[in-house]
Amino acid sequence: MLEALNSQINAEQYSALLYLSMSAYFNEKGLPGFANWMYIQYQEELSHANKFYNYVVERGGKAEIRAIEQMPTEWNGIIEVFEATLEHEQKVTGMIDSLMDVAVEVSDHATQSFLKWFVDEQVEEEANVMEILDTLKLINGQGNGIFMLDREMRQRVFVDETQAAG
């Protein structure tokens, strides 16, 4: 269980840097709202990594911080970025599900309880990305719709939901 949790710390850190890379991409493209949305994703993923780290430490385990592989830095447009985001969130969902499987297999009830928050969070993450992706496809990833969506995405603010979740 400890090995799996440490792997998830690494995965969450990778996720954070992937979204920071996407934020940088959008900043370079002159889309500050999209950059903001991805920067908030970056902050959320860091908070997730910290939540896993603190759980491992609280349970008396040794948290292992590992090297993070290089993430992409270029994409072929906004739709491709959000397709990659959805694909990544689906991968994370699979990883959380696998963690839960291990916790069930070893009868680790505390970790099952801990992971429940992440199971629910992934449903929300995927739904949010799918909604944006559907909108982007509807406007074909261009035109005035991008301008309006970019302005809307500027309004997103970071709320550390991991703190409220305990």
Give the residue from 132, 160, 128, 152 showing the smallest Cα distance to 49.
160
Domain assignment of residue 138, yes or no: yes
In the structure, what pLDDT confidence band is assigned to residue 62 with cuts at 50, 70 and 90?
A: very high
pLDDT exceeds 80 at position 55 = yes
Q: Which domain holds residue 98?
A: 2-65+79-158
Question: pTM of whole model > 0.95?
Answer: no
Question: 71 lies in a domain?
Answer: no
Instruction: With respect to residue 109, please indicate whether it lies within any of the assigned structural domains.
Output: yes
The pLDDT-based confidence of 159 (bands split at 50, 70, 90) is confident
CATH code for the domain of 135: 1.20.1260.10
Query: How many domains in the chain?
Result: 1
Asked if the structure places residue 143 within a domain, the reply is yes
The CA-based diameter of the chain, rounded to the nearest angstrom, is 53
What confidence tens digit (pLDDT) does each residue in 109-120 have?
Answer: 999 999 999 999
For residue 38, tell me if it sits in a domain.
yes
Q: Tell me the pLDDT of the chain averaged across its residues.
A: 95
Judged against a pLDDT cut of 70, whether residue 75 lies above it is answered with yes
Helices (H) and strands (E) in the chain, counts: 6, 0
